């Protein structure tokens, strides 16, 4: 998955777009047009090379990722763990990291 300020796109190991299962178009989401809330912005990201989050053939996330999303006055920090791909979402201004926890792949 390669991220930019306005969304993400799924690419294969050769950098070519990946289509969703049963779909005939690439997996791409734009925050400005495809997001649940218009106006969501990706403010900061700390990812692997080329702002990409890689998943290996076994389904393991190959590096840790951190993203900061902004929607109006609200900020949410998303951390994705290396290996398991567990996702932690929290408000960095609240001082707590356990506001919500989603276990991916369980």
Cα distance between residue 77 and residue 19, in whole Å: 28
Cα distance between residue 68 and residue 62, in whole Å: 20
Cα distance between residue 79 and residue 48, in whole Å: 13
* Predicted model pTM: 0.68
Number of domains in the chain: 1
How does pLDDT run across 7-34, given as a tens digit for each residue? 888 888 888 898 878 888 888 888 777 7
pLDDT score of 102 more than 50: no
Q: What is the mean pLDDT of the chain?
A: 79
Residue 63 structural domain: 2-102
Task: Tell me the Ramachandran region of residue 32: left when phi exceeds 0, alpha when psi lies from -120 to 50, beta otherwise.
Answer: alpha
Structure tokens at 54: 């890689």
Q: Does 97 or 71 have the greater pLDDT score?
A: 71
């Amino acid at each position: 998955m390669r991220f930019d300020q306005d969304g993400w796109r799924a690419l294969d190991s050769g950098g070519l777009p990946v289509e969703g299962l049963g779909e005939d178009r690439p997996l791409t989401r734009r925050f400005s047009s495809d997001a649940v809330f218009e106006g969501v912005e990706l403010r900061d990201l700390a990812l692997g090379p080329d702002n990409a989050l890689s998943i290996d053939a076994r389904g393991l996330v190959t590096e840790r990722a951190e993203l900061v999303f902004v929607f109006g006055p609200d900020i949410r920090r998303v951390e994705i763990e290396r290996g398991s791909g567990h996702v932690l979402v929290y408000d960095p201004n609240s001082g707590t990291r356990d506001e919500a926890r989603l276990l991916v792949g369980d």
